[in-house]
Structure 1
Amino acid sequence: MERIERHASHGGFQEVWQHTSSTLGSGMHFGIYLPAAALAGRRCPVLYWLSGLTCTEQNFITKAGAQRYAAEHGLIVVAPDTSPRGENVADDPAYDLGQGAGFYVNAAQQPWARHYRMYDYVVDELPALVETEFPASAARAISGHSMGGHGALTIALRNPGRYRSVSAFSPIAAPSRVPWGEKAFGAYLGADREAWKQHDTVELLRGATERLPLLVEQGGDDEFLESQLKPELLQAACEAAGHPLQLNIRPGYDHSYYFIASFIGEHIAHHAAALR
């Protein structure tokens, strides 16, 4: 690994590291915030943040203002890039497929299958690296925005006991039923819609064996609310399954990081309480 950025922030350091991922077969960047407690040698719990379409690790670490709250609660925050990158990595001219749009799945179709294994990277390789190379404990939480909100919810539901808490901002709640998800799943996973269900929050709730409460933040003026996000389907699925959900619809807020920065403090406090 090589550290390529380091900035003092709220008594700790915001760093960016690059490494070669054996899972993805490519170089990968991730941001990591190390609070003062971690710098002093204490093993701190970790919140993993998954970003949305077109994002890199930079969007969250520069726009969300999470460092202040992570420092207050003594949390390490890890924010990976959203896909494999590189000249030899398959891509698409559209913003919602290919590099910057990994959708946190393991692709089964060519040309994507060679590199696009973001599910395995987030669930296995990245935590193993963080818990080995940094003063991180095995107490984990996961959150994300939009495509990353979808990733956080599905990964938590598919891995009972692995995360102590989960939350999401503006998640793509039912990707099998909206254009973003149908395009990505068709390309990465193929035409069999049964395979899509393993990466669809609404579908996974039907058989969830762990009742990890879902905290979901949604802007009421989000431009993608009706066409791509559909929180009403998430609410209906939770009610049908008896799964705990706190869905906060915030009037006036859109899909941007202005929205995330407004409520990231509450989400980090939620995770900190579960990680104690």
Structure 2
Amino acid sequence: MTWWSRPTTFSRSAAVLSLVSVAALLAASFATSAPVTRVDELSVTRTDIYVDSPAMQRTIRVHVLHPEHSSPRPTFYLLDGNEATFEQSDWIAKTDIVDFAATKNVNVVLPAGGEGSYYTDWQQPDPEFGVYKWETFLTEELPPIIDSYFNGNGRNAIGGISMGGQAAFTLTARHPGLYRGVVAISACPLVAPEPYQDSVRAGIAYRGGDATNMWGPRNAPAWFEHDPAQNLDALRDKPLYLYAGNGTPGRYEQQFDDDTQATIVVGGPIEAAALACSTDFAARLTAGGITPTVDFRPSGTHSWPYWRDALRSAWPIVEAAVGQ
């Protein structure tokens, strides 16, 4: 497996400059806590890097969608949902995020992996998932790499779908100085109160993990420490976006084949639950003097076509957060 590759469409001069920059990245990154061991320059606006994470005890593939120019720019970290795999971000595999991001003056950073993780530091290794230290990776190991080698200017926002949207709020509440805004799409930001704690446990169990290895037994302190509603002050004065459909079939369920039927049967109830939780969380924000942007739709299931559209609707919030 090569540590560096480039598209054959690059010109000779561009290839030489690219090779120099990649070599510099690799050499310099070994001075950081999490070295970059491989770089794939897939186009002038997409680079995949492979980061050896001491915290995670494994190599993490990270897709970086970036402007072609080298001027400083902000960064938007975008997380997957409960079914995330280490092979490739679902945002890459299931949406047009590569083309969408190519028109933006923002680094869009998409880590691959995190199945059932809630992108948090688990208290102990899990028999199914192994060592999960996603909070450390996302907040300590990865940002210096993005800022140093992809011209990040330190103005960051974070978002995600479903589990990743919840994690975006938790990470911001725990690291308010790192993230200036949050986008949560079809997510349930609340994790500590019932019935939300049961929902988290069930989602992790569905992927084969044990949530007790994450934040301890039921109602242990860590569940409340990771619930963003317990630290609303950390979210104050930040642009916040909450999206959810109501679970009923919408524009993407007009053709009733087997796949669509499965989306309705499974994705409908999940999305309805996300709406109920997001509505509850929005009310808690409002009661705390924080006004989020809510985008609650009269239809739509828990599925990628809606999430692709929701990201477009959320983009002004991202730009407002990072100062674009």
TM-score of the superposed pair, with normalisation by structure 2: 0.71
Distance 1:228 1:187 in 2: 24
Aligned with residue 20 of structure 1, among 52, 56, 59: 52
1:259 aligns with 2:306: yes
Q: SS where residue 102 of structure 2 aligns?
A: helix
Aligned with residue 237 of structure 2, among 211, 219, 225: 211
> In the alignment, which residue of structure 2 is the partner of 1:82?
113
Q: SS where residue 17 of structure 1 aligns?
A: strand
CA contact (8 A) 1:157 1:210 kept: no
Q: Which has the larger radius of gyration?
A: 2
Aligned with residue 83 of structure 2, among 51, 54, 57: 54
> In the alignment, which residue of structure 2 is the partner of 1:29?
61
Look up the equivalent residue of 2:226 and give its one-letter code: H
Distance 1:161 1:4 in 2: 29
> CA 1:224/1:275 → structure 2, altered by over 3 Å: closer, same or farther?
same
Look up the equivalent residue of 2:101 and give its one-letter code: A
> In the alignment, which residue of structure 2 is the partner of 1:223?
269
Distance 2:190 2:224 in 1: 9
Distance 1:209 1:228 in 2: 20
Q: SS where residue 144 of structure 1 aligns?
A: strand
Distance 1:162 1:265 in 2: 23
> CA 1:169/1:54 → structure 2, altered by over 3 Å: closer, same or farther?
same
Distance 2:234 2:80 in 1: 24
> In the alignment, which residue of structure 2 is the partner of 1:93?
none
Look up the equivalent residue of 1:195 and give its one-letter code: A
Distance 2:145 2:295 in 1: 34
1:73 aligns with 2:104: yes
Greater share of strand: 1
Look up the equivalent residue of 2:91 and give its one-letter code: F
Look up the equivalent residue of 2:285 and give its one-letter code: C
Aligned with residue 197 of structure 1, among 224, 227, 244: 224
Aligned-residue CA RMSD in angstroms?
A: 2.4
Aligned pairs (5 A) from 1:1-276: 1-3=36-38, 5-8=40-43, 12-36=44-68, 40-56=69-85, 57-83=88-114, 100-111=115-126, 115-176=131-192, 177=194, 178=196, 179-183=198-202, 184=204, 185-191=211-217, 192-205=219-232, 207-208=233-234, 210-221=236-247, 222-227=268-273, 230-276=277-323
Look up the equivalent residue of 1:213 and give its one-letter code: P
Structure with larger RCO (C-alpha < 8 A, sep 6+): 1
Distance 2:77 2:245 in 1: 22
Q: SS where residue 72 of structure 1 aligns?
A: coil
> In the alignment, which residue of structure 2 is the partner of 1:89?
none
- Which runs of no fewer than 5 residues in structure 2 stay unpaired? 1-35, 205-210, 248-267
- Which runs of no fewer than 5 residues in structure 1 stay unpaired? 84-99
Aligned-residue offset at 1:77: 0.4
Aligned-residue offset at 1:114: 7.0
Look up the equivalent residue of 1:273 and give its one-letter code: A
> CA 1:138/1:256 → structure 2, altered by over 3 Å: closer, same or farther?
same
